[in-house]
Amino acid sequence: MLSNSQIVSLVNEIEGKINPANFFLGVYNFNSWPIVRIHLAFSVIKSRYKSTEMTVKSQRSSIFKIFTRPNFKNHQPLSLVITSSQYKTDYMGKKYDRVMCEFTDENPDFKEVYFESSINDSYDSNSILVSNYVEVIVKFLSLLLFLGPLTRPNLIFNASRKFYSKANYGRYRHVLESVKIAYKINFVYFMSRYFNWFFAKANVNKVATSNYYNLLSMSIMLWANRLKIDTMSFQHGNQSIVHPAFSDWVGIPRSGYITMPKTFNCWSSSECASIDKWAKRTNFHHSYNYGNPWLRYWKSKELIDRPEYFDRYRFNILVTLQPSVGLLPDILLEAFKKSNPDWNWCFRLHPRQLCNANISMIYKELSKYQTNFVIEESSVEPLPILINFSSIHVTGFSSSAIEAKELGITTIFFHELSKEYFPSLFDLHDAVFASSDDELVYYLDREFKKNKL
């Protein structure tokens, strides 16, 4: 299984051979290489994810809402936000977006855009909904006309063949993946045509996204950039040099890529540096050291209530879980069995894992050995609060380690990918690596004894 650095190196090698600046396909008058690259890289990364990844069930909107359209009678300037329910959290009766909390607060005239089929309790009156019928029509056209982007098959097929051949993914894998890529290019193109109508109706002056490399964001970026609307992304997690969406883009044209944001708002100078490595070769893209707005918000609060499950006088262990390492990895379970019964364990499910079935599964398994743990309440608590009252942080390779570092909490990693993602944390002794459950218990005990002094 390829590591992220190997995937990025392979993508860059392909870019060095195919000249991405010429990736204009068929009738689509835009460079499609970002769609191709993201698909190639993440099709391999996706294979690492465990089957326990689950999402909160969506609530389908009423059939009577299918043909509704946004109302823009006042025609006031509008900031359009593309975000995700994963980044929504409730605290003290107020809804927050942990990625763009400051941006939305500073822009009272903003709207968030979602597909109607994705509606759940996280959405509010600020939501603008892409009607189900629009989504269905776009998907239908994308399937019906998938051969369109393949009118120059030497581009997509050659890139896919080179990539999957070197990745040892089977002789004919590139054929199926090329068809998937063609569908995605169609989707971005046809959905962007919807937003052509959308922007004509709405007076949009800014577009911000928490994840620029999903198809909806790319569709909106395509038309917004053509209209010279200010486009930007906000960092939502790890953005290291081994992340395929943010690492070096070899052969990027001087004009940049129209399906990507103009400004990349980053948490720190190190993330800015990884963007600027390739962005400086363009006259379009650039980074901005915006900081972490979610952490900044919590740091500004004079008083934060301690959750009742965090005992002031106990050693509190925060464990942040993630789909790519499984629901309850063996190393965690074994360490939990061997741990000091006086320690307090706080497990936090990733938003993509958050559902009653997963909570019950973990609760049932851990209860066989000890009762000094919490999972349900901690999985919906804002992460900065959990970190703030923790004694130590444990994770596979979650970007929550960056936030832990900012709040002065050491992280114990237990997945090999952490060495690729967070070398600076190890260099600065803000993190250690546990290769076994015994080593994990050792590091926990060492921190426990330091806390007692």
Clarify whether residues 270 and 327 are in a common domain. no
Nearest to 253 by CA among 223, 274, 284, 230: 284
Clarify whether residues 183 and 287 are in a common domain. yes
pLDDT at 128 over 90: no
pLDDT-derived band of residue 122, with 50, 70 and 90 as boundaries? very low
More confident residue, 359 or 57: 359
pLDDT-derived band of residue 65, with 50, 70 and 90 as boundaries? very low
As a whole number of angstroms, the distance between CA 219 and CA 242 comes to 25
pLDDT-derived band of residue 74, with 50, 70 and 90 as boundaries? low
Q: Indicate the number of domains in the chain.
A: 2
76: amino acid identity, one letter: Q
> Tokens at residue 102, please?
């400051």
Residue 288 lies in a domain: yes
- What pLDDT, on a 0 to 100 scale, did the predictor assign at position 110? 63
Angle between helical axes of 437-452 and 330-338 (0-180°, round to 10): 50
75-112: pLDDT as tens digits: 567 788 888 778 878 777 777 888 888 766 666 666 66
Clarify whether residues 14 and 149 are in a common domain. yes
pLDDT-derived band of residue 27, with 50, 70 and 90 as boundaries? low
pLDDT at 123 over 80: no
Segment 422-443 mean pLDDT: 95
Clarify whether residues 287 and 324 are in a common domain. no
Residues 6 or more apart whose CB falls under 8 angstroms from that of 93 comprise: none
Residue 99 lies in a domain: no
Sign of the Cα pseudo-torsion (260, 265, 267, 273, in order): positive
pLDDT at 302 over 50: yes
As a whole number of angstroms, the distance between CA 355 and CA 368 comes to 21
- What residues make up the domain containing 224? 4-53+132-294
Q: What is the DSSP string of 304-347?
A: -PPPTTS-TTS-EEEEE--GGG-SS-HHHHHHHHHS-TTSEEEE
Clarify whether residues 210 and 153 are in a common domain. yes
Phi, then psi, of 116 in degrees rounded to 5: -60, -35
Residue 374 lies in a domain: yes
As a whole number of angstroms, the distance between CA 192 and CA 130 comes to 12
Clarify whether residues 238 and 334 are in a common domain. no
Nearest to 335 by CA among 450, 435, 417, 411: 435
Clarify whether residues 273 and 342 are in a common domain. no
Clarify whether residues 282 and 329 are in a common domain. no
Clarify whether residues 144 and 43 are in a common domain. yes
As a whole number of angstroms, the distance between CA 185 and CA 32 comes to 7
pLDDT at 430 over 50: yes
- What pLDDT, on a 0 to 100 scale, did the predictor assign at position 55? 45
